[in-house]
Structure 1
Amino acid sequence: MPRKAANRSSIVEVARKAGVSPATVSRAFNQPELLKPATLAHIKAVVRNDGFRPNRVGRSLRAGSTRTIGLLLPTLSNPVFAECFEGAERHAREAGYSVMMATTGYVPEVEAKAVQAFLDHQIDGLILTVGTPVRNAALAMLQAVDMPHMLVYNESGKHPFVSVDNRGAARDMMQDLAALGHRRIAVVTGPLSESDRARRRLAGAREQAAQQGLGEVAHWVMPAHTAASRDILQDALRSPNAPTALFCSNDLLAASTITHLVAMGYAVPRDISVCGFDGTAMGTLMVPPLTSVEQPSRQIGATACAQLLTRLQGGQTRSVRLSHRILQGGTVAAPPTSTRTARSKTP
């Protein structure tokens, strides 16, 4: 078995070498703001030379807090969630907290198992995105044990959350498409049962279409949230009333859709317009850049962490909707004067 380092100093030895009390050394780690800058710098210099590390496990047992936050997200392969993680982790680290991470792949059973594992590790609080917050086993588990938590991206009337107004953002994108002359628009999503965000975006698109007197908004469901099906696209575009614009529920799905359309012989946006939702950096690097609804993912993560820490310090959490904006890329343009050319491109 690995042996404990023999030359690792104790807090008493650090205090002796620094010429201060053990309590002062303890404050240097736990309440550095209480020390004079010169004293703090001197203790840190001694610590660096001796290789001392505070026993955080012991401190956690004494304080009844692990100073660890859980972060549960569907995936990190989607840049949206990766940016959210960065925002939350940085805010937690600056506040003296560590972060435990897990991903679920949008599977409810995995969500519940991951939450149980977090509870077993005695985290202080949890930031999470679930497939849907309605009748969710993971959220019910958190409520049962009164575990402080914040949803990110989900919107809920029963749980505090940080998100954008998904319905309102979809309405804004639809308004822009209508202003360009699009009257036949389809919303492209993954399975709605796995994403309340997609449901809200579809609902917002349909609300705006009805308000502006547009035709019925078609809904094309792909097998996965972030990957389009070429077969579904081909079949749908054979319709005599094929849409002139596709509003995808996220940027990865939009990028996948454009890839298939180009392979099928379409020019985007000359033959058909495509837009996404997220405003990822990846979308701005596409040629042409992706038109998208931008949501501030790093800020979402940081804000959720700040709200959670407020709760851990005895305050009250509140739900927050952050601002979105439309990124005017190059994948959306006025509709073609005739759809005959576009339909003929479908193999």
Structure 2
Amino acid sequence: MLFSPYKTMFFLSLISGTILSISSSSWLLAWIGLELNLMSFIPLISSKTNLISSEAALKYFLIQALGSAIIVFSSTMLTIYSSFSLLAISFALLLKMGACPFHFWFPQVMEGMNWLHATLLMTVQKLAPMFLISYLTFNMFCWVAIAAAACFSAIIGAIGGLNQTSLRKILAFSSINHMSWMLFSMLINETSWIIYFVLYALITTSITMLFFSLQAYYFSNLINAQCSTLSKTISMMALFSLGGLPPFSGFIPKWIVVQEMIYCSYFHAMILLLFSSLITLYFYIRLSISSISLSHPQNKWVNNSNHVTSPLKIIFYFMNLFGLLVPSLLFIL
């Protein structure tokens, strides 16, 4: 069952753990919230019938347990070695959200999940660690560590997605690349990174739900998908939006972050982020061209069976195309 009672209970508990971590006033409460989030996410992604999902759940548990252990150990030493403890906590939070150089587990765990669980991993599960790490930017050592992690995440996220045939790994490396933008916007101000995260979560959800409806997990699945041209077109526009192509919605948060970085004179980091975005756009365009030009023959009854998802398609259209309306709204205002 997709929405069984126990899964609903674990999902609500997962959200509660995230809210507890974000609103906590001490590292102990933050750790409790992270553990509640972890213990709720593991039953959601594990499965008795699918060994790959169980393996992904075990890998995720071990990594998150290591990060939680580092947080507990470092928080006890805050009064003695404050700078070292805060730096260790920042490393643990970077490990928990899969930022470079602690990204090694993220694509492997993504590969063992279905699209619904992968959506949670790329959006909700990053929320609490990112809020907690934003509280550490006042420390100079943490600031340098976050900036270095953002630079490496931009490079690894762009290069790692090349020559990948798995759609889940492509979105995993894309998520690592987007984390670099969010980390740099976090160093500037909280408003810009929250805007970036919300828009990124909406666009990523639209892509994963479209792939879920097509049951596409690899290039070949997307090419041979028995669906209408409209569904493939929506999928391609969603990918372009995630890559930050200017007419689409994904360009808006990157535009905001670029303006803030220019204002703060982070020119070298901005050039690195823009160059990495060009590389990610390359493999999005490669995926789009392959999917559209190598279409599988379709039957008429297949196209007529997609009317059920038409309201969902309209929502996905709006998520990725409302960026086209922004210049008109600014002109009217």
- TM-score when normalising by structure 2: 0.26
Whichever structure has more helix as a proportion of its residues is 2
Q: TM-score, normalised by structure 1?
A: 0.25
Larger Rg: 1
Higher RCO, 1 vs 2 (CA within 8 Å, ≥6 residues apart): 1
More strand by share: 1
